[in-house]
Structure 1
Amino acid sequence: MTRANRLSDLATWIVREGSIEIEDVTERFGVSASTARRDLDALADQQFVQRTRGGAQIASGSGDLPLRYTVVRHEAQKQVIASAAAALVQQGTVVGFNGGTTTTAVAHQLGIRMAAEHPERSEVLTVVTNAVNIAAELVVRPQLRVVVTGGVARPWSYELVGPLADAIFPQIDITTLFLGVNALDVERGVFTQHDGEAATNAALVRAARRVVVVADSSKLGARAFVRICGLKDVDELLTDSGADASMCASVTAAGVQVTIA
């Protein structure tokens, strides 16, 4: 296991348990006590945990994983989903992205595709996003016109949230929104971990003609803190081959097209 993957798993574990001891880390990951301490120190340096005597506990307000740690989770599935999602985009449309690892992967693939298909053209596609990392990656592509919302940046997800972000959405028309989520529940809808992100993401949904949820199979049936929207507001779920067949059937029965990448 690489250190990046170990830190990702360690961060997930701390979110779930609330606190851990050095001995727990050494036993779970098969590392030395000094390596366990260095890993916890690295998470503490990022203000994700607070070090305690003999271990660490989750820092106040750290209810979700920072993007820099979640990016390595289910990476292969996210890349498959990203390639399939980028292929759905038509020239001349307006594409929306909220923040997250899967939407970041989709945006990356879309930028590559547009550059390859239109090397000599400019602004063949408009992208609207509240994620500053996505905007920073795509703004160097002359084929894309990048529109960034206002708002307050969250260091965990790089998303702009709040009233300044929400104000723009009633004024724009998004053809297709690629929506990243933390969890999908057939009865209740799609969820994220942060209330500010949920409100801004819901505003993105209202501004979109078509909403495509891009979520790897681990998100189906998972739980998260706050609801973004119901499945009635979702047109398509794009997921990977690891998705549970009965869950996919239930999502289809709810009126959502399910596409397995």
Structure 2
Amino acid sequence: MDRYARWNALLELLTESGRVSVEDAAERLNVSQATIRRDFDQLGQQQMITRTRGGAVANGVSYDLPLRYKTAKHSAEKQRIGAAAAALVEPGMVVGLNGGTTTTEVARALAMRPDLNSGADGAQLTVVTNALNIANELLVRSRMKIVVAGGVVRPQSFELVGPLGSALLREVTLDVALLGVNAIDVTLGAAAHHEGEASMNALMVARARRVVIIADSSKLGGHAFARICPIDRVDTLVTDSGASPEAIESFQAVGVRVINA
């Protein structure tokens, strides 16, 4: 287990229990207590946790982990979801992409498709994004037209939020918005932990002809602080094979097409 995967596991333990001792964490992760102490010290320095005598307690912001700590979580599922979502894109489209680990996999899958990079006969793809890391992924891997919404960078997600980006998004039209979310529920709709991200995502929804929500099965039926859109605005949900039949049926019952990657 590499350092970021270990830190992610420790933060999840703290989210579940509120506090954890060095001894318990070392036993559960099968590493030495010295390693756990170093991990706790480094996470404490980054204000992700509060160090205590013999252990650590969770900070209130631990639910919204920085993107670099999320990459190890459900990685195989996210790659499959990314490929399935990218398959919905056709040459010449204008596509909206927000930030997150799953949409990063979508961007990588899009960049691998030569039919979206030809630039001939209007086939070149246009991607509108408010995420710096996704813009970088596409710039170094493809020849697509990349439009980046402005704003203030959130270090947790590399997303740009605020009125500068909102002004741009109000002036564009998207064929499809491919949106990663923190939670999606048939009653509550799609949501994000941060209100600034939710606001930018809601603008993409408003400017899109079609909305595709991209979420691994752990996000289904969950809730988050700020709503992005109601469920009746969602055309398609792309998730993984871990989604329960009951969850899938509940989304299909309200008219959402479900794709299992």
**Structure 2 residue runs without a partner (length 5+):** none
Structure 1 counterpart of 2:212, which letter? Answer: V
Q: Which residue of structure 1 lines up, in the alignment, with residue 201 of structure 2?
A: 201
RMSD: 2.1
Question: How far off its partner does 1:45 sit?
Answer: 4.0
- Residue 239 in structure 1 maps to residue 239 in structure 2: yes
In structure 2, distance between residues paired with 1:124 and 1:207: 20
Q: Following TM superposition, by how much is the alpha carbon of 1:190 offset from its aligned partner in structure 2, in angstroms?
A: 1.2
Q: Secondary structure at the match of 1:107?
A: helix
TM-score by length of 2: 0.92
Amino acid in structure 2 at the alignment position of 1:110: L
Q: Which residue of 1 aligns with 2:21?
A: 21
1:125 aligns with 2:121: no
- Which residues in structure 2 correspond to 1:45-194 (within 5 Å)? 45-59=45-59, 61-114=61-114, 118=117, 124-141=124-141, 143-194=143-194
Equivalent residue, structure 2, for 1:36:
36
Distance 1:142 1:249 in 2: 37
* Contact residue 7 and residue 69 of structure 2 kept, 8 A: yes
Instruction: Name the stretch that deviates more: 14-23 or 130-139.
Output: 14-23
Deviation at 1:118, TM superposition (A): 4.2
In structure 1, what is the Cα distance between the partners aligned to 2:227 and 2:33? Answer: 40
Q: Could you tell me whether the CA contact under 8 Å between 2:110 and 2:116 is conserved in 1?
A: no
Cα separation, 2, equivalents of 1:194 and 1:47: 18
Partner residue, 2:10? 10
- Say if 1:192 and 1:226, in contact at 8 Å, map to a contact too: yes
TM-score, length-scaled by structure 1: 0.92
Partner deviation per Cα, 1:21-68 (whole Å, 9 max, x = no partner): 223312322322101112222323443223233222334544411111
What is the CA–CA distance in structure 2 between the aligned matches of 1:241 and 1:69, rounded to whole Å? 23
> 1:156–1:98: structure 2 CA closer, same or farther, 3 Å change rule?
same
Residue segments in structure 1 that go unaligned for 5+ positions in a row: none
User: 2 CA distance for matches of 1:215 and 1:129?
Assistant: 18
Identity %: 51
Q: Tell me the distance in 2 between the aligned counterparts of 1:224 and 1:69.
A: 19
Q: Which residue pairs with 2:227 in the alignment? A: 227
Q: 1:143-200: per-residue Cα shift (whole Å, max 9, x none)?
A: 2111101111111111111122222111000111111011111111112111111111
Residue in 1 aligned with 2:259?
259
Residue 7 of structure 1 aligns with an amino acid whose one-letter code is: W
The whole-number CA distance in structure 1 between the counterparts of 2:243 and 2:68 is 25
Distance 1:99 1:20, change over 3 A: same
Native 8 Å contact 1:178 1:214 kept in 2: yes
Instruction: Give the Cα–Cα distance (whole angstroms) in 1 for the partners of residues 74 and 60 of structure 2.
Output: 27
Contact kept, 8 Å, 1:182 with 1:224, in 2: the verdict is: yes
